[in-house]
A and B are shown apart, each in its own frame.
Chain A
Amino acid sequence: METAMDLMRRIHPKHTDTALSALLSLLPQHSSDLLSQVDQPLQVSYDMECGKEFILCDYNRDADSYRSPWSNKYHPPLGDGQQPSPELRKLEVEANGVFAIYCDQYYEGGISSVYVWEDDNEGFVACFLVKKDGSRSGQGRRGYLQEGLWDAIHVIEVGAEEDGMAHYCLTSTVMLSLTTNEESASTFSLSGSIRRQMNMDLPVAEGHLCNMGRMIEEMESKLRNSLDQVYFGKTKEMICTLRPSPEVVQMRLPSS
């Protein structure tokens, strides 16, 4: 498993799908571990009844059908598909509404879905998903990107309430790829994924949604920042050591 995960962080993020199915076929005995530890690009389906798109993941899947957060129905239809309790469904409906507005403000478009379900120890788990196509032909408002994908997966485990406090454990993954081409003869493309975790104990006075939302907002900003500053920055640094700009070379030369 460890070597499989090492392979996954070496293989180009664009090939994640192929690499994963290759590993699944080589290591069928580890398939559930692989599927839970390797994040795959998000897929989208269309809820005809509500006229809205929703995101597919393991958390809204039952057999080969996926539950839409909008109509609460399975696509393709499934007679006795799993449903959250009425109480959690209420939270889910509210979360979907608010999260859609949040996404509007940060993503200026994109598709969002939130799924909530019971967990084994009296708390619950919620999964907030965003998929944004920021390309010129998608929802990139500025039109800089020939190709631009952002997938965010936030899974947040909420512990049982105790003395007005609850424990929140958030695991977030962002996968992105972007390609710009200023001229037809050159392309510039960056892609990658990072995953981080955040734990917090918070008073539930303002409600779970409020706490979860703030954590997700903070985490997304952190992830965006470290991709931009650290990860992209490191690749730039690498290129600049391979071929330093003339000023740097000159600074080094006088001694020789």
Chain B
Amino acid sequence: MSEEDSQEPESELTEEQKTEIAKWFLLNSPSGEIQYVAKDIRSVLMDENVYNMAVSEAFPLYNKTHMISLEMPNRSGAVIVTSFGELNDNEYLDPRTAQVAKVNHIKQACTDVRPATDEELPSFYIEQFRCALDSELIKYVSEAYPKGACSVYCTNGKDAEPGSNFELTVVISAARHSPQNFCNGFWRSVWNIDFKDDTQLVELSGKIQVGAHYFEEGNVQLDANHECIDTTIFQSPEDSALSIANMIRHHETEYMASLEVSYSNLPDTTFKDLRRKLPVTRTLFPWNNTLQISLNREITKELGLGK
């Protein structure tokens, strides 16, 4: 979208330009709001071709960025739509149940599942580590997030045997959508876990993204990001799982506490740099006596008493 677009509204936009604009709106939808944005953009566009093109390109990207979790039809739990589990455009691996979920991106639904093939799954050696970590994480996530989903993927060295390096990726995704209260929010964390056989160390690096949108008679959004790293020693699958899950728990709990501190600092410190609650004089502004104020101000300035 270039500046010129807005400068010359007379000139007709091409289909490509319209599609790009529609995609931009869709991809910038807040968590849980893409369906509403799609409805709006459809009626603004009044062009089904352009609309269909835009949604078919934007929804898959949006679903993966937002790591939405979808119930699988056979009651085997939820699959998280992520780039880590993506096998092709609409098939996503659920490592926990060793199933592949067929996803309808635009409906944001899982329509079918099939068992994963051996090639799609990690080796037995990796699976021990992955599975142990998954069990520990389920415990943590069900305690900490009332509506959280988590998954552990092998993102490097899927066919590794003992003695080689590999990488697991932990995804935690929690979202809460409350359109009737004009409020939506999400918490997403991605933890890369590098198992280094050569150094016998396990290196963690985490990225946490938190957001909320409140839009009753207004539009206010929170964006918070946090990155951290940590290290532990390479142990048995069970012991590694326990210490990794503990580190994740520790960092996320600390980060949540720091978010609450940021919020409690707002009214008295942070917000004050934008606008004070009361004037420096601590009384309401004397609108009826402005002549006096301007005189005072002149004098203060002249005597160099300012601030």
Contacts and interface: CB of A to CB of B under 8 A. Distances in A.
Interface in A91-138: 97-98, 101-102, 104-108, 132, 134-135
A231 B260 CA distance: 15
Contacts of A102: 279, 285
A238 B184 contact: yes
A7 B220 contact: no
Contact of A6 (B6, B17, B36, B225): B36
A22 B28 contact: no
A204 interface: no
A9 interface: yes
Chain B contact-residue range equals 35 or more
B37 interface: yes
Interface string B177-217: 01000011111000000000000000000000010111101
Contact of B226 (A186, A213, A224): A186
B214 A235 contact: yes
Given A13-B219, A232-B266, A236-B263, A101 B276 contact: no
B267 interface: yes
Interface residues of A, number: 87
A9 B258 contact: no
Contacts of A101: 290, 293-294, 297
A249 interface: yes
Interface stretch (B18-26, B99-107, B116-124, B155-163): B18-26
A242 B176 contact: yes
B221 A190 contact: yes
Interface of A: 3-4, 6-13, 15, 18-28, 31, 97-98, 101-102, 104-108, 132, 134-135, 140-145, 148-150, 176, 178, 180, 182, 185-196, 206, 209-210, 213-214, 217, 220-221, 224, 227-228, 231-232, 234-246, 249
Given A235-B183, A238-B183, 19 more contacts: A6-B36, A7-B37, A21-B6, A23-B44, A25-B6, A25-B17, A25-B21, A98-B287, A106-B275, A106-B276, A145-B270, A186-B227, A188-B224, A224-B271, A232-B220, A235-B220, A238-B184, A243-B144, A249-B144
